[in-house]
Amino acid sequence: MEKQQYAVGLDIGTTKIVAMIGRRNDYGKLEILGIGRTKSLGVHRGVVNNITQTIQSIQQAVNQAEAAAGFKIEDVTVGIAGQHIRSLQHSDYITRTNSEVVIDEDDIDRLINQVHKLVMLPGEEIIHVLPQEFKVDGQSEVKEPVGMYGGRLEANFHVVVGQVSSIRNIGRCVKSAGLDLEGITLEPLASANAVLSQEEKEAGVALIDIGGGTTDLAIFKDGIIRHTAVIPFGGNVITEDIKEGCSIIEKQAELLKIKFGSAWPGENKDNEIVSIPGLRGREPKEITLKNLSKIIHARVVEIIEQVYVEIKNYGHEEQKKKLIAGIVLTGGGSQLNHLKQLVEYITGMDTRVGYPNEHLAGDSDDEVTSPLYATAVGLVMEGIRQTDKKSSEETEDETDPIMTGSTEADGAQTHQETLAEKTTKERKTFLEKLTERVKDFLDNAE
């Protein structure tokens, strides 16, 4: 039997750390071979704040996944999120020396590298530079400028920025846990790959990933990512509110939220009461479900309104930028009762809960198809894509070293295909460069 391509996704979250091993089956679907899930102890709002505890949690999750899959994990694809991630829009241009020569990849490279030289705040680094649309000699809305004639090449960019120390700390934890860093990906992008269909990305959709410590937003339109944001609130703040509002311990608050919580207070009758055992022989506490929903409702409204501000900032209210496919909710927090209805009520946009089952093999566990694992599934998919890319590049190098030149006689379609491949390759490389930089930094820091 030929060696199957495995990939491992490592989702380092605020409440849980998930290690997931998967491979592509004969039908092109993702088959999950093992999952490890542990409580995340050293992470606060998506940022590592205790290296030792995080390393231990990673090792536990990896050991569980290895036991389930029956083999040892070496490389992992890690997701980055956290409150330090921010994004901005930027326009830039280059003037070409010879407008008689068609625009090629090098011109786009030059333009993108120019954006990378943007001056950031101290300690920040550009993680992603995502071209939106290009302008050639003032002709706007050019999706693919390669092969066109022109003297001035302009583009609008979506630039994602993050704290370089936070990214290095994650790299440090992964390395100290005895693992190699295969790749780094933005978590909202990973979740989007797992739960959104291509049609939704074309029509325009906002993905809201409600995690424990943060809520991530990714907006797609015309198949391109247009806006990303990280809101530093998630499910943990709701639990904290219940704990304070009902004067109970965190464990009980979390259980109450999961079992009886609702984002819509009108659903509960006044006489519905749940009794919580008191601590150390104290009297049990009686909590009305209506009160519980009111506490949850207040905080959830705040989170959704902040997300909605970001959706408006993107320009959803303009006709051209309208998000026709509405909102997709995912992440552990999306399982809260009546959340979908509340989001529709506040934003007036169609909403559904996103499950990562579209790309999974039919016989997958129900557990895996939970929104809780959307990011982990997305990271495994990204890992497989990276592995495929490497192997295809190796075979390309072996078979034909002069693949780069394309003749005039090339069919238009194949030319378009190679262009598309090139640009997707092109746009992936920035995270690869980032991964390399983090690896180099860790090696030199030894």
Q: What is the CATH number of the domain that holds 222?
A: 3.30.420.40
Rounded to 10 degrees, the C-alpha dihedral 256/257/258/260 comes to 60
- The total domain count for the chain is 1
pLDDT of residue 4: 56
pLDDT for position 250: 92
Strand partners, 85: none
pLDDT on residue 67: 94
User: What DSSP assignment string belongs to 114-178?
Assistant: HHHT----TTEEEEEEEEEEEEETTEEEES--TT---SEEEEEEEEEEEEHHHHHHHHHHHHHTT
pLDDT along the chain (446 residues), means of 10: 70 93 89 93 88 94 93 90 84 90 90 89 86 89 89 91 89 93 88 94 95 92 88 92 92 93 83 86 88 94 95 88 95 93 95 90 82 94 86 69 42 44 49 76 72
- What type of residue sits at position 404? T
In a domain, 414, yes or no: no
Residue 347 included in any domain? yes
Question: Alpha helix locations (H) across 25-100?
Answer: 51-69
Q: What are the residues whose beta carbons fall under 8 Å from the beta carbon of 114, sequence distance 6 or more? A: 92, 94
- Alpha-carbon distances, residue 403 vs 30, 70, 71, 296 (angstroms): 31, 40, 37, 58
Vertex 237 angle, CA 234 and 238, to 5°: 95
Range of the domain at 323: 198-357
- Residue at 221 is within a domain: yes
State the residue for tokens 């939220």.
Answer: 257
In a domain, 272, yes or no: yes
| Residue among 325, 317, 348, 307 at smallest CA distance from 205 | 325
The answer to whether residue 426 sits within a structural domain is no
What pLDDT does 121 receive? 87
As a whole number of angstroms, the distance between CA 318 and CA 187 comes to 27
Residue 168 in domain:
no
68 found inside a domain? no
CA distance 446 to 432: 21
Position 428 scores a pLDDT of: 52
